[in-house]
Every structure is written in C-alpha cells, then in structure tokens.
C-alpha cells in the first residue's frame, strides 16, 4: 500500500506544487494520474522516489514512512519502487539484454539468476526475441519497453511511470499499455502519470485527477473526459 497523508510541497522558489494531498493506493492497483500540465503529477512521483522531499505531511510505502528515511536508506527504497520516464535513458553501447541485466550486475547477482530474471522481464514486455539488438536498432516503443523491463527486472513491487507514452504515437502507446497490463497482472502496483486521454478512457482503471496541486477527483474504473 502507498499512502499520502496531508502532503504539501512547496519548492524553493515559492511555488506550491501540492497541497493537502491524501491518497491510498493498495497493492496491485493500476492508477492513472492525470491533470493539466503543472498540476503536480511529476511532483507526486518525485516525492514517492524521494527525488524531492515533502514540505509537510507523510508518505508511506507499505509500513515504511519514506518521508523520514535517511539519505543512506534511499537506495533501498529504490529497490522497492522503480521508475520509467518519458525518455528511455538506455545505454547505447549495450544490447537490450545488457541494458536490462546491468542493474542486477551492480547488485552482484549470479549469472544464472540474472539470465532468469532478464528473460522473464523481457517476456513481459514482449521483447524476448530482441535481446541481442542495440538501442539504435529499436523503435521508440521498443526502446520504452526495454526501459520498462529494466525497471521491473529487480522485482520491485511498485512501478511508477511518468508520461511513458509521451513520445509515442497512439498505436505504439498501446504496446506500452499491453506491457504495463502484463506487469500489473503479474502482481505489481502500477502508477502512471499521463496526458493520453484516449488511453485513460479506454483502459478503464482507477483515475486520480490533480488540478493546481490538489486531488479533484478519484474514480475506480474511470475515464479522462476533460479536453486537455
Ligand atoms: P505536472 O507533472 O502535473 O506537469 P509538476 O509536478 O511538474 O506538474 O509541477 C507542479 C508545479 O510545480 C508547477 O507549477 C511547476 O512549475 C512547479 N515545479 C515543478 N518542479 C519544480 C522545481 N524543481 N522547482 C520549482 N518549481 C517546480
Ligand atoms: P547458459 O550458459 O546457461 O546457456 P547464457 O549466458 O548463454 O546461459 O544465456 C542464457 C540466456 O540469456 C539465453 O537466452 C541468452 O540468449 C541470453 N543472454 C545471455 N547473455 C546475453 C547477452 N549478453 N546478450 C543477449 N542475450 C544474452
């Protein structure tokens, strides 16, 4: 379970990005985070991964209050919650397999375990047959799926995506959504910030709408009807 309790965020320049945000996201949920540009979506994500600190309130992931984690515990937090960004951030000189394996190699896992986990992650994003390709040989959608495989390969229970389809056309975006659906069906909690109205409306999952730093609606199996 992820929980935001009266979360308030004011940046150093005085901008209030979030005020009084309260939300609970149970294990296994799929949640869209929508709202106009500047509403506070990225800020919520940055607070969750402790890229930014709250100015007030508390955030819990499972029973851990991440808002009071000391700096040296942040790497441990990142093993529980992984992130996918709009740009893919792949290592150009490494193959698809190596890009995904890299995170596990740093953790010192055995070659056999790494093989197992990388194959599993690449199958979930339907790229099991592209292991030997380099990023330059991939389309945008394929690149994003590699970055998703890399994010989930360490088996973190939470996956957060910030505009993962932002650079992609709609048909390619659906490949990403299929991958995220597989990952959610596999038991992970998925939180996706997006502007992609069509996707949100057709995907029929929980929709949390932010406006001007506040949650203005939260619907189970909702849609994104606004014109933004
Ligand atoms: P969204 O992701 O919904 O577009 P953001 O969370 O990026 O919204 O931004 C929320 C508000 O906080 C905006 O007014 C934005 O300009 C401001 N903001 C975001 N990041 C920073 C920052 N690092 N410093 C100052 N203001 C910021
Ligand atoms: P084994 O020695 O047990 O056969 P390998 O290291 O040869 O294990 O690889 C097992 C699986 O991982 C195979 O599916 C292989 O294609 C894949 N694999 C391993 N290393 C790489 C790599 N650097 N690039 C692409 N695929 C790899």
The pLDDT score that the predictor gives to residue 226 is: 58
> Is the pLDDT at 228 greater than 70, yes or no?
no
DSSP assignments along 142-184, one per residue = HHHHHHHHHHHTT--SEEEEESTTTTS-HHHHHHHHHHHHHHH
Nearest Cα neighbor of 216 from 10, 21, 38, 8 is: 21
Distance 155 CA to ligand 2 centre (A): 20
Helix axes 170-185, 140-152, angle to 10 degrees: 20
How many C-beta neighbours within 10 Å does residue 211 have?
Answer: 16
147 lines ligand 1 (CB under 6 A): no
Most confident of 93-97, 102-106, 155-159: 93-97
What does pTM read for this prediction?
0.88
Confidence of residue 78 (pLDDT cuts 50, 70, 90): confident
- The whole-angstrom separation of Cα 167 and Cα 164 is 8
Ligand 2 binding site (Cβ under 6 Å of any ligand atom): 95, 97-98, 115, 119, 131-132
* Mean pLDDT within 126-130: 97
Return the ligand number nearest the Cα of 133.
Answer: 2
The atom of ligand 1 lying closest to the CA of 40 is 6
Asked whether residue 227 carries a pLDDT value surpassing 60, the answer given is no
Token pair for 101: 């394996």
What ipTM does this complex have?
A: 0.74
Tokens matching residue 142: 């394929």
- The rounded Å distance from CA 44 to ligand 2 centre is 38
Nearest CA to ligand 1 atom 5: 40
Cα–Cα nearest to 142, from 162, 125, 156: 125
pLDDT at 79 over 70: yes
Cα Rg of the chain, angstroms: 17
Residue 30 has pLDDT above 80, yes or no: yes
Q: Among 117, 97, 121, which residue's Cα sits nearest to residue 107?
A: 117
**Which H/E stretch holds residue 6?**
strand 2-10
């Amino acid at each position: 379970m992820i929980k935001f309790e009266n979360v308030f965020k004011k940046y150093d320049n005085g901008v209030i990005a979030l005020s009084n945000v309260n939300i609970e996201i149970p294990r296994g949920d799929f949640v869209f985070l929508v709202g106009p540009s500047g509403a506070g979506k990225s800020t919520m994500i940055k607070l969750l991964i402790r890229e930014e600190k709250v100015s007030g309130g508390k955030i819990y992931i499972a029973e851990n209050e991440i808002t009071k984690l000391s700096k040296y515990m942040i790497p441990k937090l990142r093993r529980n919650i992984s992130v996918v960004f709009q740009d893919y951030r792949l290592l150009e000189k490494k193959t698809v397999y190596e890009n995904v394996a890299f995170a596990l190699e740093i953790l010192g896992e055995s070659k056999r375990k790494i093989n197992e986990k990388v194959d599993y992650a690449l199958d979930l994003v339907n790229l099991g047959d592209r292991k030997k390709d380099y990023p330059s040989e991939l389309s945008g959608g394929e690149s994003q799926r590699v970055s998703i495989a890399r994010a989930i390969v360490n088996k973190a229970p939470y996956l957060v995506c910030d505009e993962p389809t932002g650079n992609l056309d709609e048909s390619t975006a659906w490949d990403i959504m299929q991958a995220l659906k597989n990952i959610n069906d596999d038991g992970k909690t998925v939180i996706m910030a997006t502007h992609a109205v069509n996707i949100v409306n057709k995907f029929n999952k929980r929709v949390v709408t932010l406006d001007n730093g506040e949650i203005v609606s939260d619907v189970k199996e909702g849609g994104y009807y606004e014109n933004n």
